[in-house]
Amino acid sequence: MRPFRWCASLAATAGLVGSLFLGSAVSSAAPAVVGSEAAVVVPTQSGVLAAGAGDERAKSRPGESESGRRQACLGLVPPPYAYADLSPYLCGDWRLGPTRVPTRGVVGNIVNGYDRFGGLTPVEFLHKWWDPTADSGQGDWRYPNDDGYEHNAQGTPIAAPLVLHPGQMVDRFGNESGRYLSPAGARYGERGIPPSGLDAIDPRYPYNYHLYRVTRDVAVCAGPIAPAFEQPGKGVQYVTSSRFCPSTSRPSVGDLVGNGTLVRLN
């Protein structure tokens, strides 16, 4: 499920702000605090353990603070001169997502147990999933083919029209120019999106999270999500416009908000 890809220069200006909706506030500009009640980051050989994973390594250990964080970032090209203590992003790289993620509130529940690199180092992760030649050399993620739908045994995307009804709740990580929605509260690892999906640009939407209520019947293209970005996928995605469902005609989530089909809840 593809979120809108923010450019690094714009993303670097954003501040991640807390809100009552998300639980306790988390300052994105502050250095990571191991063992913090609001957010936890743990330097490991694989990078950083997501908050809420319930791992004992979340407790601080001698000699692991600054050197551990830098060790996890070694090998990035270009080098991460702005480390996590100087940037809201892990290793100073917006592609790797925010250094700190919430452990409470709606988003905290969604990212609970999320291991952003799936056992890889940051360098290995970017080598596998980032295409520096895409988008006229600006680079982009290597998203799964066929709009991110999982395939059946014959290799055909599993997708079909589905009508969402009034009162249903849906959400997404990414701005409203995108086409992808999920059932509200679906786990982050089920969505088939990279760690940068958690980067906030608009301070009104911490962690880039948008929640909506459906107000009238609307047809979407629904199907299971393919594994991607070292995550299992297997969640359900609602695509507002897909070639696999010609009957879906709305090109973006923003269009559904504009015509009143979706109402913002945060």
Does the bond joining 144 to the residue before it have cis omega, within 30 degrees of 0?
no
Gap between the terminal Cα atoms of the chain: 21
Q: Which amino acid is present at 67?
A: S
Any idea which residue has 């594994």 for tokens? 227
Q: Which of 116, 172, 191, 250 is catalytic?
A: 172
The one-character DSSP state at 159 is -
DSSP 161-198: EEEE-TT-EEEEES-TTS-EEEETT--GGGS---GGGG
The one-character DSSP state at 149 is B
| Residue 225 to residue 94: CA distance in whole angstroms | 24
Length of the chain: 266
User: Is 57 a residue of the active site?
Assistant: no
C-beta separation of 16 from 87 below 8 A: no
DSSP 19-48: -GGGSS---TTSPP-TT-SSB--EEETTEE
User: Is 237 a residue of the active site?
Assistant: yes
Tokens of 11: 């993303």
Residues with catalytic function: 172, 237
